[in-house]
Structure 1
């Protein structure tokens, strides 16, 4: 472990800062850069630009999430819910721009935790990381359970428990936990082997997902029943007073999907020249996901056999694809979706394990000594990967007892992600108003190129990101019975959003390392 030092301002002359005239970069220069933040190079630095991009793209995983959630958006807002996708992208892109500036200046694992503590102090930074870890554990569980929606339709033999594959049935819920557990064991093993193998699997998986997305878009646009003007149709909900509220609720679908694009920042210590690569791949992952997702939604609306028979809201995208694709191609598509679920789960678990490692390395978590150990052979923090995997399985078990509670958990965890984002953008705005970054336009990466900066537009973009994030937290946490208690059997679940946030704060207050001095104190805003 390095001697605790305060981080030097990015771009300062010294080892690894990239202020020289050389055009190449290697692990030694990146390691020297990392040492200025007080950390040794323990993780293996082997990820390139595409692997960095793949980490963010696979976390969003539009083939997985839109496949699952299309019906949610359409059910609330009708075809015009398409525009919520655009609105959420604009809001999230403003967040991604802020993240890109920070990723260029603080290329350290545990991005949300590191960025929020350097902008807002130790307490805010800790809670930003805490919220993100909790959310990622639940999100990985939700991704893993999606296998139940896919694999039994590929081959009936995947329905190992009982004969009803529906997630709401007893046998379907139990089988979902079994399949999800197997998947989490696989992703945990891959993470323990090393980041190089994680990069290989994610890269191949993302290539398969991209091919699948393009194939689906082409299939949808060649089997249309109506034109693109369908996106102006408010549908049946539009015939009732107050459509705007239904439209706002339909935006939850996009809000659920477009998160996790900052995963490249979590892998900064394992990426070559992260000051240049991470900012770019953060923006690319979100942008490509948004474009692909918009085309998928538009194509589904144009190709759906009917917009009024209720099936599009109940069955979502699979309903449209089953009418467009013949059986063999439909099976191939389902296999591609299963691959997307694999890499999505892997990407989320990897990001969570690196965040846990980063906080433990700073003695910010219980059992930090054990959680901060890195295997010298694989260059991987093995225990955090195992702990995250086990906790994900524990969350999965909730689905056996009550699938409504599991669905509620997966909804409220998104609130925690948006709160973690606010823990970065709010203090960043405060520091920006004080002149951050002070040496704008001077900082360079390992190749001597200027770091990404928003320049004079930074304050306006940051203000927009904060306002958007705050409004989205309110929208996500709003006690809608249709989201949190659709059956009407458990009224308390309707308030699950605010109650979960309160529980996370109270649990965090118990876990916070009160009285323990940080081994690497930072000066806020530098």
Structure 2
């Protein structure tokens, strides 16, 4: 029998300080952690899905919102990374809020995170069935066919998550590598081929397309955002989920060091590569007004510039990137369900908090998450605006999660013990200022009336969560929701002071 890995033993000992025993296998290394964060962001998925919406709402000049969104989300990633280094426990936002504020607020944010993860996997996988496969295989995407294809994609992801974490990780690592190489190659080819053929139109970068000029740059009014402001949704939808690496903290080797770096590196890589790609696409777009009418504008530009064979390869790459994105989302949602169930505060926790002895995965939590995703899909499948509603909710919820956690970090940062593996140092205040300003601005965009159905989903899920939280408080009392090991960081610091 081989000797135990000292590093793994050390990670397990640090986990014990938070009141938990090592239950999941620590297999995730540096690239795998980065791949989890990058796959969730998935620039191929986000840009392919939302570029057409930006052309219609903001015109091609709307792409200049992207660098601002990247800077804002990078600041958020640094702030959350600082928390992940101090609280390296599966459950991410739920754990952070529970231990920094109190378990009641932690439960609320955990439920919000769960409602986000439940809907975003459907939104992402629905894209494959509704906009890509019909073009790739040349068939009409009826509501029923789209429903069935999405259901099959969800099933494939669930099988990987349920039966083998190592295989799920291998698949994700391979698909992320493919996406990185493919996006770099496509970007370079677009720049070079369009330039050689004389099809580069610099004026596109500053064109408003068919969008009216009047009030274009305005912030908007109480119920609507200005045209250019809506362009921020391109970055706001795409550059999210990077903190998913933190939700695998108990499966990651040296998580205090690895996870924070994976988060900000994924945002930076996605931001730079994504912006170069959308600039290349916009330069080669030809007539942006005509392009805005297409359901697959990215694929159209690739086909017109690089030919149908490359366009087909692009579509295949996007399908694989979306599959990886959905796979990581499902892994994240299952881990959150398991983490909250382990603390006996998720509906039906007795079942979902178990680890399968045979597969070493949260098998039953995976089944629950899969069934719920299929129910959400069934509810939205016959709606003509299903894709927009799903993506709207999947953009709104992360903004709420990030704002809550960053504000909490801002309030509690001085009481946190320093991490010798990752900390912001003198940059802490500037980073937090940028993050708070960005998140306040992003949340203000969702006052637009086009998000009313997304808000309806959020409100319904919050009501369900509030009812269950009320049940927990009524049956256990507030003190019955304390976290294992310690109620908060403050309690731990007091305990350490007493020992000293």
Residue 430 in 1 paired to residue 411 in 2?
yes
Alpha carbons 2:98, 2:488 under 8 Å: kept: no
Q: Helix, strand or coil: the match of 2:183?
A: helix
Q: Helix, strand or coil: the match of 1:223?
A: helix
Tell me the residue number matched to 2:433: 463
Gaps in structure 1 of 5+ consecutive residues: 1-23, 166-171, 444-449, 485-494
Are residues 278 and 464 of structure 1, via their aligned partners in 2, closer, same or farther at CA, if it must alter by over 3 Å? same
Gaps in structure 2 of 5+ consecutive residues: 219-225, 493-500
Note the 1:134-145 alignment, pairs <5 A: 134-145=115-126
How far the C-alpha of 1:405 sits from its partner, in A, is 4.2
2:214 corresponds, among 231, 240, 255, to: 240
Deviations 1:175-206 (A, max 9, x none): 11111111111111111123211110100110
Tell me the residue number matched to 1:369: 350
Q: Distance in 2 between matches of 1:154 and 1:373?
A: 41
- Between 1:497-506 and 1:365-374, the stretch displaced more is 497-506
**Alignment TM-score, normalising by the size of structure 1:** 0.84
Residue 452 in 1 paired to residue 422 in 2?
yes
Paired residues in the alignment total 467
Alpha carbons 1:276, 1:452 under 8 Å: kept: yes
Tell me the residue number matched to 2:77: 96
Residue 187 in 1 paired to residue 152 in 2?
no
Are residues 384 and 477 of structure 1, via their aligned partners in 2, closer, same or farther at CA, if it must alter by over 3 Å? farther
Give the root-mean-square deviation of aligned CA atoms: 2.0
Alpha carbons 1:44, 1:378 under 8 Å: kept: no
How far the C-alpha of 1:76 sits from its partner, in A, is 1.6
Residue 53 in 1 paired to residue 12 in 2?
no
1:155 corresponds, among 137, 142, 152, to: 137
Q: Distance in 2 between matches of 1:499 and 1:397?
A: 17
Residue 231 in 1 paired to residue 188 in 2?
no
Tell me the residue number matched to 1:18: none
How far the C-alpha of 1:475 sits from its partner, in A, is 0.6
Q: Helix, strand or coil: the match of 1:44?
A: coil
How far the C-alpha of 1:394 sits from its partner, in A, is 1.3
How far the C-alpha of 1:100 sits from its partner, in A, is 0.7
**Alignment TM-score, normalising by the size of structure 2:** 0.89
Q: Distance in 2 between matches of 1:312 and 1:219?
A: 24
Residue 128 in 1 paired to residue 109 in 2?
yes
How far the C-alpha of 1:473 sits from its partner, in A, is 1.6
Higher helix share: 2
Q: Distance in 2 between matches of 1:132 and 1:186?
A: 23
Tell me the residue number matched to 2:487: 522
Q: Distance in 1 between matches of 2:37 and 2:203?
A: 32
2:254 corresponds, among 228, 248, 273, to: 273
Residue 208 in 1 paired to residue 182 in 2?
no
Tell me the residue number matched to 2:495: none
Residue 325 in 1 paired to residue 306 in 2?
yes
- Between 1:74-83 and 1:30-39, the stretch displaced more is 74-83
Alpha carbons 2:55, 2:288 under 8 Å: kept: no
1:496 corresponds, among 453, 466, 469, to: 453
Note the 1:244-255 alignment, pairs <5 A: 244=218, 245-255=226-236
Alpha carbons 2:333, 2:369 under 8 Å: kept: yes
Alpha carbons 1:64, 1:340 under 8 Å: kept: yes
Q: Distance in 2 between matches of 1:372 and 1:451?
A: 30
How far the C-alpha of 1:505 sits from its partner, in A, is 2.5
Alpha carbons 1:195, 1:270 under 8 Å: kept: no
Alpha carbons 1:69, 1:253 under 8 Å: kept: yes
How far the C-alpha of 1:60 sits from its partner, in A, is 1.0
Are residues 498 and 154 of structure 1, via their aligned partners in 2, closer, same or farther at CA, if it must alter by over 3 Å? closer
